[in-house]
Amino acid sequence: MSTGTRPVVVKVGGSTLGEADTTAADLAALQREGVPVVVVHGGGKVINRWLDLHGIESRFVRGLRVTDQAALDVVVAVLAGLVNTALVAEIAAAGGRAAGLAGPDGGTVLAEQMDPELGRVGRVTAVRTELLEALLAAGVMPVLAPIGLDADGGLLNINADTVAGEVARALAAASLVFLTDVPGVLDGDRAPLPRVTREEVARLSAAGVIAGGMMPKVEACLRAAEAGATARIVDGRQAHALLDAVLPGRAGRPAGTVVG
């Protein structure tokens, strides 16, 4: 494989999963091809639903979820429990071997509190790759929930896009692929761009073209690209989008937007 022994990191968003979704099948197919894959997942829509069920208001500041202790309990239960286990089960049903874990497992994702205004929201300070590498060496795909561990043993909610970028950077990944619900990074006319450089990202961000939930994805891509990864943002709603992104020769066409 062109990736050699360097892994591929895939960020899966809940909005890309559904009845016709091929992500689990693509992940299992990559594993059969001998491509080492680490999955990082989000789960914002599921979190919102469970917060509503518990009568906890969903609040956001600068695009980040305000996470007090009551909200954190729900976030951890949903991400490390419901969403993580369901994704592992989907990969298994597709013929893959995966293991679910959260950032605190093995001290994999270390973090510090970002801003008291946001509550228990974290900034990644380090990614320890030993557990991820041990699972990959055993032929098992790590599926990581974006929960961080602080210096006092406390848990922190971290943006999954950011975690994916830092994991890719720490692993010196060959590729970082974001599966989203848009065709890629869009220009001012809402047309997908095949590639954006750091300078173009700065220009499009200043013009408000790159904004909202796309910003952490683009920033994570740039972080991973600095460490040598090919970073792409692709439309995960398209059948076999992941295979097309990791194995571009398979489809004969580039997928989504390359960032960096």
Model confidence at 248: pLDDT above 90: no
The candidate with the shortest Cα–Cα distance to 234, out of 249, 205, 201, 256, is 256
Model confidence at 209: pLDDT above 60: yes
**Which of the residue ranges 108-117, 136-145, 169-178, 198-207 would you say has the lowest mean pLDDT?**
198-207
Q: Which helix (H) or strand (E) holds 123?
A: strand 122-127
Q: What is the dihedral of CA 177, 21, 214, 198, to 10 degrees?
A: 30
Rounded to whole angstroms, the Cα distance separating 149 from 211 reads 28
Cα–Cα–Cα angle for 172, 174, 176, nearest 5°?
Answer: 95
Query: What is the average per-residue pLDDT within 192-201?
Result: 92
pLDDT value, residue 14: 58
pLDDT value, residue 18: 55
**Which of the residue ranges 25-34, 46-55, 59-68 would you say has the lowest mean pLDDT?**
59-68
Rounded to whole angstroms, the Cα distance separating 7 from 14 reads 22
Rounded to whole angstroms, the Cα distance separating 40 from 58 reads 22
pLDDT value, residue 247: 85
pLDDT band of 4, cuts 50, 70, 90: low
Model confidence at 2: pLDDT above 50: no
pLDDT value, residue 3: 45
Model confidence at 1: pLDDT above 50: no
pLDDT value, residue 213: 85
